[in-house]
Amino acid sequence: MTGNAGELPVVVLISGNGSNLQALIDAAATGGPFAIRAVISNRPGVHGLERAAAAGIPTAVVDHTGFPDRDSFDAALADEIDTYAPQLVVLAGFMRSLTAAFVNRFAGRRLNIHPSLLPAFQGLHTHRRALQAGVDEHGASVHFVTGELDGGPVIAQARVPVCDGDTESVLAARVLQREHELLPQVVTWYAQGKLALRGERVWFDGAPLQAPIQC
């Protein structure tokens, strides 16, 4: 899938099932102003690669286990990304922290989706931690990627209630449904030229965001 002229070229990074990737594929196929040039995984054999292949999108694997250190893996990953000349790199369930050199190479051109209402519950096991904390609301955030893990400026969030009797898997499924709406929306805004990272600040429609957009 190479896309038409005028569509923003995007590379998507994944590590697993690729359900957020599928949401992006569906959005691009139904008129979204972006084209997925490639899907790259750090793990071979994951279902997300099959989703991409089924949609006619080129795939690649840069297996982190084949490198002696993070720096060499990140350099190889960045080189692979650059072969597709993307204007945006989207981390959609990509489960690797990345070095400063990688972050700087794609500064202002990387988005990540995280299953919590950042800055709450950075890192792993967000749904379990939300239940343990007894919060009333949980959700997902899309943010620009910086050198701080899950700490880049937040663009937009989607909220869900935490209900009595929720298990980790039930809450995760509720959040994931909103992720599938949130990520394509933010990528669309970026493709439309509405989003920019200036310094440490998100700008939207020509003005600095005072708080994350609630979707």
Q: What is the DSSP string of the chain?
A: ----TTSEEEEEEESS--HHHHHHHHHHHTT-SEEEEEEEESSTT-HHHHHHHHTT--EEE--GGGSSSHHHHHHHHHHHHHTT--SEEEESS------HHHHHHTTTSEEEEESSSTTTT-SS-HHHHHHHHT-SEEEEEEEE--SSTT-SPEEEEEEEEPPTT--HHHHHHHHHHHHHHHHHHHHHHHHTT-EEEETTEEEETTEE-SSPEE-
At 1 the pLDDT is 45
Structure pTM?
0.95
- The set of catalytic residues is 114
Question: Which tens digits make up the pLDDT trace of 73-119?
Answer: 999 999 999 999 999 999 999 999 898 899 899 999 999 999 999 99
Structure tokens at 90: 């989207």
* Share above pLDDT 70 across residues of the chain, in percent, rounded to a whole number: 98
**CATH classification (class only), 8-214:** alpha beta
Question: Which tens digits make up the pLDDT trace of 28-61?
Answer: 999 999 999 999 999 999 999 999 999 999 999 9
Residue 155 pLDDT class (50, 70, 90 cuts): very high
Give me the residue spans of the domains in the chain.
Answer: 8-214
Pairing of strands 110-114, 88-91: parallel
